[in-house]
Structure 1
Amino acid sequence: MSADRPVQEFYSIGEVCTLTDLKPHVLRYWESQFRFLNPAKNRSGNRVYKAREVELIMLVKHLLYTEKFTIEGARQRVDQYRRSGELKTAARQALAFETVQELRVGLEEVAAVLDGRPVAPRPTPEPAESK
């Protein structure tokens, strides 16, 4: 999620996909698996996400793709954060971690270009099978 984007009250599914680097079908699946991901719908019936939901999506992405939790494990970890009052902090830390990772990759790509090395396409991360 880019730090240079203005904060909005609501985001469309396309905007959330751009911010989180996730596909719409992934977001829709996660909505069925995580009860706290329940975006409202606008008058046209399209999903609209609040900034808080985008932060939670980034936390789920971090737990699944970086920490390699299963869906159930990520669900339990989020519940643990919620019970301990650490959910907001955990979501923001996950966002910060993912932002730093994106910046690191970008800097490595710039360094490769400057050194005349080819830049490989970025792989799409996959969630783990178990944890």
Structure 2
Amino acid sequence: MGIEPRLGSKVFYKIGEVSQLTKLPAYVLRFWESEFKFLSPKKSRGNQRLYIRRDIETVLEIKRMLYEEGHTLEGVKRYWARRGRAASRKLTPQELAKKLRGDLQAIVKIIDAHSP
């Protein structure tokens, strides 16, 4: 599974196309949608699943974790839950001030480096 599938320049991919790209049966993709709430492709007016590039990348990551690394469904769910919490974690005022101070110091260094 070392070779990444080539995604075209399309915006949306139907489930059959995603199935071919990921080499997973469509029923597995539908099952994963029911298991992983973060994997929810849009639906067209005709109720067809429309995957975007991020959805396909998520499917490939889940596939890698399950098939190559040997994680269980529950393990993958816990991983994504932790990942989601870490991404949405709010900074304390002190952490935010420290981060902003570091960002401002980096900006000052860039300005100083480009000043005559």
Q: 1:10 matched to which residue of 2?
A: 12
Q: Matched residues in 2 for 1:10 and 1:82: separation?
A: 24
Q: Which amino acid is the alignment partner of residue 68 of structure 1?
A: G
Please, which runs of 5 or more residues in structure 1 have no aligned partner? 86-131
Deviation at 1:73, TM superposition (A): 0.3
Deviation at 1:37, TM superposition (A): 1.0
Q: 1:72 matched to which residue of 2?
A: 74
Q: Figure out how many residues of one structure are paired with residues of the other and give that number.
A: 84
Structure 1 runs of 4+ off > 6 angstroms?
A: none
**1:1-131 superposed matches below 5 A:** 1-3=4-6, 5-85=7-87
Q: CA RMSD in A?
A: 1.3
Q: Matched residues in 2 for 1:70 and 1:54: separation?
A: 20
Identity between Structure 1 and Structure 2 (%): 39
| Contact 1:10 1:48 (8 Å CA) reproduced | yes
Per the normalisation by structure 2, the TM-score is 0.67
Deviation readout 1:35-58 (Å, 9 max, x if unpaired): 011111112111111111111111
Larger radius of gyration: 2
Q: Which amino acid is the alignment partner of residue 17 of structure 1?
A: S
Please, which runs of 5 or more residues in structure 2 have no aligned partner? 88-116
